[in-house]
C-alpha cells in the first residue's frame, strides 16, 4: 500500500515591512543633524508616525528650497531662457560641483525613497515596492545597517524568482495581496506584520497574560479562548456598524482641511527657519556646513558626502554577485563596516586615572629592570641617569600625556605685589585691541553680511577709540600648530582635528548672526583661512580711519 505524497503548498517569505521603514528612516541618523529630545526621536524612528510626518515636512521644505535656488539662479543669469539648463540638469551639475548642494540633495533623495516605500505599501503596488527596496539597499550597505543589507537582497532575489517558482503566489502579490486592506479607505493598506501586531493587541486585551503565568490551566484557557473572543468582538463591532457602510467615507484619514492646513503651516515654518539660516542649495563653497551652528566638516566628510552612494552601490552589487549568483561566499559572512560619518565623529576613549598610573608603573619597572641588568656588567651612575628625562611625557610637566595647566587667577596675587593700583585711565597715544575679542563683544544686530557688519558696527567702534589716541593697532590671534595653546583648544568642545573656519563665500555674504560662533580656525595651523581678513581689509581701507594711524594684522604679518 502506497501513501499519497503531499506536495508542500507554495509560500513566500515576507520581510517585516514596518521594521524596514524604521531602518530606512534611521539612515539619516548620524549623518545630518545632531539634536535631542523629540527631534532626536525622529532621527532614531522611535515613533513611526511622527518620524514619517517629519520626513514628509522636511522633504516638502527641501523641494521648495531647491526650486527657489533654481529660480534665483535663473534670475541671475544673463543668458536667454532657451539656453538655461532644465531643473534636473541643473541639480545634477550642482550636485557634482558643490558638496553642500550634494549633501542636502542626498537628504531629500533618502526621504523621498522612504516615502515611496511607504506609498508602495499603502497602494499595494508590488513593482513600486521592489523598486523602492532596490534603491534603499545601497544606502543600507553604505551606512552600516548590516542585517538589512544582508537579507533584503535575498528577499529581492526571492521576489524575482517568484514568477517561475510559484506563479499563483506571484499573481496574488501583483494584485496587492502582500498587504492587508482592513477598511474601505483608499491608500490605507498596511503590511502583513503590522496587521498581525494589531490582531495580537486585540487578543491580549487589557493586561494580556499578566498574572496568568503562575496558573497553567488559566493560561491555557486564555491561549485557546483569546482568539475566539477577539473574533466575536470584532464581528459584533462590524455588525453594529453595518448600517454605516452604505455611506462610508472612503477618503484617506489625512484628506481633511485641518490636516492639510496643519501640514502647509509646518512646511512654511520649516522653510522660513532654513532660509533664515541660509538656503543650503544656494551655497557656492566647497565645504559641508551645518545649518544652525555653521560648523564646517573636514575634507573626509566632504569625500563621504560625494562618494557614499557609490560605495553602497558597489558593495550591494558585490554582495549580490558573490553570495547570491556565484555563491563563492556564504550569505552570513561578515559584511565590512564603512563607518561613514559627516558631523558625528567617534570620540577616542581616554584611559582612566588608574590605568594611566598602572602604565606608568610598568614603564618604570621595565626601565629599572634594564638598569639592573646593565649595572651587573658595568658601573652605572644613577645620579647621572636621573638627570635626564627617561619618559616620553615628563611627569613634572604633564599628567597622563596632557600638559599640566594652572589657574590664571593665581597670577593676580603675584602681580598685585609688584604693581601699583591706578584709579584713572592713563593718557596714551596708542591703543592695541584684540580683534577677536572686539568681534565677540560687538553683536551683529541687524547686520546680514560682513560688509554690513564692518560698515555699521565694527568700523564706527574703531573710530570712537581713535578719538582719544593717534594710533590704533588691531591684532588678530594666530593659531599655530605647535603652540602650547593647542592642548587647551583640544580640550574644548570640539577636537583639534575638526575644521572650524568659514569658507570664502561666508566672509563676503554669509549671515553674520550665525557665523561668529563658528569662526574659529583649526588647530592644524591653517590660519590663512581666518575669516577676519575681510574685517582687516575693510578696517584698513576705511575712510573714517584714514585721518589717524590705524594698523591691523593680516594673518601672521602686521
Q: What is the helix (H) or strand (E) element at residue 551, kind and residue range?
A: strand 549-552
Distance CA 524, CA 555 (A): 15
12 with 169: CB under 8 angstroms? yes
Q: How far apart are the first and last CA of the chain?
A: 107
- At 426, the pLDDT band (50, 70, 90 cuts) reads confident
Distance CA 112, CA 106 (A): 10
2-6, 7-11, 74-78, range with greatest mean pLDDT: 74-78
Residues contacting 216, CB < 8 A, separation 6+: none
Q: What is the helix (H) or strand (E) element at residue 526, kind and residue range?
A: none
216-241: buried (b, 16+ CB within 10 Å) or exposed (e) per residue?
Answer: eeeeeebeeebeeebeeeeeeeeeee
Which of 54-68, 169-183, 382-396 bottoms out in mean pLDDT, i.e. has the lowest?
382-396
E-only strand ranges, 178-309:
179-180, 190-191
Residue 557: is its pLDDT beyond 60?
A: no
Number of helical H runs and strand E runs in the chain: 21, 7
- At 99, the pLDDT band (50, 70, 90 cuts) reads very high
221-246: per-residue pLDDT in tens?
Answer: 888 887 788 788 777 777 666 555 55
Q: Give the angle subtended at the CA of 279 by the CAs of 495 and 26, to the nearest 5°.
A: 60
Q: Is the dihedral of CA 208, 212, 216, 218 positive or negative?
A: negative
What the block records as the C-alpha cell of 522 is: 583649526
Q: Give the angle subtended at the CA of 507 by the CAs of 503 and 510, to the nearest 5°.
A: 90
Distance CA 451, CA 122 (A): 52
What the block records as the C-alpha cell of 378 is: 658595568
32-58: per-residue pLDDT in tens?
Answer: 444 455 556 655 556 788 888 999 999
Residue found under cell 490551566: 217
Distance CA 230, CA 331 (A): 40
Amino acid at each position: 500500500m502506497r501513501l499519497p505524497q503531499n506536495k508542500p503548498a507554495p509560500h513566500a517569505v515576507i520581510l517585516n515591512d514596518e521594521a524596514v521603514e524604521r531602518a530606512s528612516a534611521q539612515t539619516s541618523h548620524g549623518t545630518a543633524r545632531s539634536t535631542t529630545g523629540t527631534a532626536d526621536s525622529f532621527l532614531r524612528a522611535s515613533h513611526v508616525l511622527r518620524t514619517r510626518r517629519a520626513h514628509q515636512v522636511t522633504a516638502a521644505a527641501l523641494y521648495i528650497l531647491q526650486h527657489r535656488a533654481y529660480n534665483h539662479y535663473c534670475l541671475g543669469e544673463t543668458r536667454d531662457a532657451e539656453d538655461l539648463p532644465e531643473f534636473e540638469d541643473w541639480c545634477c551639475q550642482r550636485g557634482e560641483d558643490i558638496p553642500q548642494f550634494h549633501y542636502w540633495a542626498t537628504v531629500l533623495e533618502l526621504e523621498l525613497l522612504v516615502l515611496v516605500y511607504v506609498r508602495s505599501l499603502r497602494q499595494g503596488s508590488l513593482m513600486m515596492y521592489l523598486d523602492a527596496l532596490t534603491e534603499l539597499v545601497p544606502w543600507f550597505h553604505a551606512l552600516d545597517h548590516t542585517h538589512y543589507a544582508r537579507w533584503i537582497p535575498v528577499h529581492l532575489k526571492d521576489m524575482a524568482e517568484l514568477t517561475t517558482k510559484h506563479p499563483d503566489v506571484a499573481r496574488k502579490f501583483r494584485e496587492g495581496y502582500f498587504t492587508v486592506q482592513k477598511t474601505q479607505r483608499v491608500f490605507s493598506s498596511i503590511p502583513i506584520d503590522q496587521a498581525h501586531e494589531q490582531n495580537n493587541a486585540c487578543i491580549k486585551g487589557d493586561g494580556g497574560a499578566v498574572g496568568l503565568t503562575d496558573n497553567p490551566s488559566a493560561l491555557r484557557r486564555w491561549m485557546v479562548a483569546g482568539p475566539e473572543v477577539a473574533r466575536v468582538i470584532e464581528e459584533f463591532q462590524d455588525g453594529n456598524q453595518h448600517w454605516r457602510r452604505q455611506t462610508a467615507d472612503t477618503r484617506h484619514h489625512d484628506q481633511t482641511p485641518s490636516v492639510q492646513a496643519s501640514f502647509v503651516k509646518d512646511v512654511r515654518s520649516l522653510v522660513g527657519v532654513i532660509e533664515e539660516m541660509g538656503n543650503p542649495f544656494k551655497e557656492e563653497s566647497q565645504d559641508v556646513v551645518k545649518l544652525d551652528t555653521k560648523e564646517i566638516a573636514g575634507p573626509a566628510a566632504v569625500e563621504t558626502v560625494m562618494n557614499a552612494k557609490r560605495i553602497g552601490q558597489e558593495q550591494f552589487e558585490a554582495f549580490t554577485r558573490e553570495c547570491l549568483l556565484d555563491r563563492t561566499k556564504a550569505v552570513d559572512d561578515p559584511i565590512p563596516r564603512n563607518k561613514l560619518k559627516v558631523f558625528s565623529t567617534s570620540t577616542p576613549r581616554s584611559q582612566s586615572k588608574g590605568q594611566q598610573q598602572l602604565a606608568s608603573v610598568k614603564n618604570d619597572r621595565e626601565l629599572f629592570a634594564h638598569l639592573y641588568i646593565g649595572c651587573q656588567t658595568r658601573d652605572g651612575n644613577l645620579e647621572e641617569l636621573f638627570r635626564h628625562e627617561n619618559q616620553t611625557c615628563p611627569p613634572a610637566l604633564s599628567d597622563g600625556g596632557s600638559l599640566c595647566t594652572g589657574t590664571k587667577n593665581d597670577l593676580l596675587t603675584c602681580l598685585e605685589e609688584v604693581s601699583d593700583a591706578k584709579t584713572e585711565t592713563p593718557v596714551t597715544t596708542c591703543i592695541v585691541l584684540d580683534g577677536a575679542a572686539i568681534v565677540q563683544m560687538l553683536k551683529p544686530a541687524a547686520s546680514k553680511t560682513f560688509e554690513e557688519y564692518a560698515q555699521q558696527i565694527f568700523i564706527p567702534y574703531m573710530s570712537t577709540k581713535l578719538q582719544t589716541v593717534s594710533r590704533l593697532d588691531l591684532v588678530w590671534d594666530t593659531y599655530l600648530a605647535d603652540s602650547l595653546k593647542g592642548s587647551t583648544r583640544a580640550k574644548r568642545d570640539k577636537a583639534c582635528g575638526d575644521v572650524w573656519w568659514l569658507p570664502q563665500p561666508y566672509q563676503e555674504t554669509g549671515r553674520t548672526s550665525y557665523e561668529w560662533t563658528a569662526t574659529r580656525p583649526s588647530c592644524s595651523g591653517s590660519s590663512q583661512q581666518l575669516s577676519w581678513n575681510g574685517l582687516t581689509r575693510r578696517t584698513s581701507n576705511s575712510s573714517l580711519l584714514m585721518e589717524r594711524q590705524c594698523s591691523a594684522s593680516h594673518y601672521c604679518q602686521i
